[in-house]
Structure 1
Amino acid sequence: MTFRDKLGLSLVPVLLLLSGCNPAPDIVHKKLHAEQGTYVADISETGAFSVVSTNDNGILLWPRYANNAKYSWRHDDETSQVIAVDISPDGTVVATATRFEFALWDATAGDNLGFWKIGSGGIQDVAVSNEGSVLILGKRDGTQIAFSPDSGRRLEFYGHTERVNSVEVSANGFYVLSGSNDASAILWDTRSGQIVHRWQHKNRVTQIALHPEAKYVFTSGSTDNAKIWRLPDGKEHSRLKFIDRQRIFSSARFSASGDTLLTGSPSRRINLWDTQSGESIRHWNVGLVDDRNPNSAVVLSLHYYDNDNIVFSESSAGLAEWWQLPADWNQE
């Protein structure tokens, strides 16, 4: 989904943060993935490919460092904007959604695996488990739907009382993490519909992240603390340390090891945080395209290649960028 949708903001220019940035790491590779900018994006768990939603060319699947998109997809109703995309943890399928329709795509063969429509409520975010076994819809009316395409099983979850902004699902499809305008984040079980943990903030929860091996959960309110919670006990592990009166995040992802949290902002900034201490280790800004307006970009998705010390970013400027960190970057 778009960052503005999560916060419920109108289309207004985004101001740059006043605090300085570290020099950007060296660029390994960059590629324009969307001429007119990217609306939403997701990067696969391994960083092997990314999927972007564009205004002009539909949904595009881009292999790493490729010169051309491998697949181009569109929904049945081409007048509706794709507002959410999610790649399954195993990289086999991609889920996409407009406000009232969602679809599943084969990431290997490029085939469409199904289109489904919903009634009232409106989709806000989508998530998909390995092989598309479970699809999660976070809705604007506060409900969530866990849907199994193979069996047709459908479970509605009513743990939130206001709009669901973000959803993530575990690889096996058993657990969902969600953040809502009701100022809470919830981890719940799709088999029983029971709440496993509920974390309370003072304001609406706009950004979440679930570690792939369920070591940690990240939750961030719109104007209050950004926290890392440990699993399985759900207790606070650390909170991100920043001097800004408030810090807003447009994307977040844990590294595979869980030692690092990557966040993106609506003002071009990438931050790498130490999970244990909550300290920011390094930060810099993503690039722009030919200094076009607007003069900023939302960081939509991030990935860290543990073995290569490379960060991969997709931004609303339409740019995919791969950044080479020095070997001792986490000691700086």
Structure 2
Amino acid sequence: MDKKKVVAPLVCHGHSRPVVDLYYSPITPDGFFLVSASKGRFHTNVEKWRDWRLDWNLSGHKGAVWSCCLDKHALRAASASADFSAKLWDALTGDVLHSFEHKHIVRACAFSEDTHLLLTGGMEKVLRIFDLNRPDAPPREIEKSPGSVRTLAWLHSDQTILGSCTDMGGVRLWDVRTGTIVRTLETKSSVTSAEVSQDGRYITTADGSTVKFWDANHFGLVKSYDMPCIMESASLEPKFGNKFIAGGEDMWVHVFDFHTGAEIGCNKGHHGPVHCVRFSPGGESYASGSEDGTIRIWQTGPEQDSCAANGPSQNIKDVVNEVTNQMRNVLIAEEEKTGTE
């Protein structure tokens, strides 16, 4: 398969520190949304994008934001931070709805499919489930993770939880009803990215220089591909499932054929390691977040040839400039308020 020419990406500036997590909402009546998180010593941002325009800069954490997510209606956002808290946000106004205090760094968060629960985990090795209908109530705690929690996700209509650790290989599966670990998907290296496909068929994991695909119902290994470098994140195309993307230490976003593992594209542009990649819910584009503090939106499809030759349209350039100016103003205001650099 011939490699496609690379489309000039839409570059979203604004984060003052490395972008470490990205999350797309499902398609809603108002379109789909992207929320992003970054780490920083003094101030961090979680931002939500609609049609690639900045809607809200959610400022409130006092430490790095390691994880972020949106509920399926894109009405609420959640974030997990190094300041020992997870926060619930109103995605329409940017207001903090609740802060869930923890005893150590929180690395992961996830809304349940029914949107009533928020799952968190981190350095405490404890998985907590908060009832969002009673946010002040004590959370339910289930069987401890054997290591510091890196990623979390819900499966099987909120009946199963999958999680990976920062300090050991494998993906563990908890039965929510019993609160116990019932299975482990074995990997040699620590799993830095675990994504459940939109149709619920596959679990995509990145561990070291390998990307794997697992059957999300029977948990058998479907495919395993060796990568050209250590990959931090991978994502399966949601509409046809015929390709996947991966990004890591070489600063590129690679596109691979799902059936053969052959590389069919390579997007260059980031100036630091790529920490996170995600396909949009319709598969027409995908986003990458990097150590360089930028998010890049890459288009998929045959229109890549003309886009690569001509560069981004003037409309796209205008949107980029508008977003950049908005974010610059936000950062200046934050810096003046906090006295940080």
TM-score, normalised to structure 2, is 0.73
CA distance in 1, matches of 2:87, 2:215: 33
- C-alpha distance 82-91 of structure 1, shift in aligned 2 (>3 A): same
Q: What does the per-residue CA deviation read over 1:86-135, in whole Å, with 9 as the maximum and x for residues that have no partner?
A: 2234423211122311111122233322111013x432222223464221
Matched, 1:62 2:49: yes
Deviation at 1:172, TM superposition (A): 4.5
Q: What does the per-residue CA deviation read over 1:236-257, in whole Å, with 9 as the maximum and x for residues that have no partner?
A: 1111143x4xx42222222223
CA distance in 2, matches of 1:31, 1:122: 27
CA RMSD, Structure 1 to Structure 2 (Å): 2.9
Q: How does 1:69-148 map onto structure 2 within 5 Å? A: 69-75=54-60, 78-99=61-82, 100-119=84-103, 121-130=104-113, 132-148=115-131
Q: How does 1:295-306 map onto structure 2 within 5 Å? A: 296-304=272-280, 306=282
- C-alpha distance 133-254 of structure 1, shift in aligned 2 (>3 A): farther
CA distance in 2, matches of 1:262, 1:134: 30
Q: Is the 8 A contact 1:286 1:315 kept in 2?
A: no
CA distance in 1, matches of 2:281, 2:148: 33
Q: How does 1:29-44 map onto structure 2 within 5 Å? A: 29-34=10-15, 36-44=16-24
Deviation at 1:171, TM superposition (A): 8.7
Other-structure match for 1:231: 216
TM-score, normalised to structure 1, is 0.75
Other-structure match for 2:314: none
Structure 1 residue corresponding to 2:8, chosen from 24, 27, 46: 27
Other-structure match for 2:320: none
Q: Is the 8 A contact 1:145 1:155 kept in 2?
A: yes
Other-structure match for 2:302: 327
Q: Which runs of 5+ in 2 are unaligned?
A: 27-31, 305-341
CA distance in 1, matches of 2:25, 2:255: 17
Q: Is the 8 A contact 1:229 1:235 kept in 2?
A: yes
CA distance in 2, matches of 1:163, 1:250: 17
Q: Is the 8 A contact 2:90 2:97 kept in 1?
A: yes
CA distance in 1, matches of 2:78, 2:260: 34
Deviation at 1:160, TM superposition (A): 3.1
Q: What does the per-residue CA deviation read over 1:29-61, in whole Å, with 9 as the maximum and x for residues that have no partner?
A: 333232x34443323134533333364563322
Q: Secondary structure at the match of 1:220?
A: strand
CA distance in 2, matches of 1:29, 1:328: 15
Deviation at 1:168, TM superposition (A): 1.9
Q: Which runs of 5+ in 1 are unaligned?
A: 1-21, 289-295
Matched, 1:313 2:299: no
| Aligned-pair identity (%) | 17
CA distance in 1, matches of 2:194, 2:283: 25
| Letter in structure 2 aligned against 1:303 | F
- C-alpha distance 65-174 of structure 1, shift in aligned 2 (>3 A): same
Structure 1 residue corresponding to 2:196, chosen from 194, 203, 210: 210
| Letter in structure 1 aligned against 2:245 | L
Q: Secondary structure at the match of 1:30?
A: strand
CA distance in 1, matches of 2:44, 2:122: 26
CA distance in 2, matches of 1:25, 1:282: 7
- C-alpha distance 90-153 of structure 1, shift in aligned 2 (>3 A): farther
Other-structure match for 2:232: 250
CA distance in 2, matches of 1:97, 1:271: 28
Structure with greater helix percent:
2
Q: Is the 8 A contact 1:301 1:315 kept in 2?
A: no
Structure 1 residue corresponding to 2:36, chosen from 51, 58, 61: 51
Deviation at 1:169, TM superposition (A): 2.5
Other-structure match for 2:205: 219
CA distance in 2, matches of 1:58, 1:271: 27
Q: Secondary structure at the match of 2:189?
A: coil
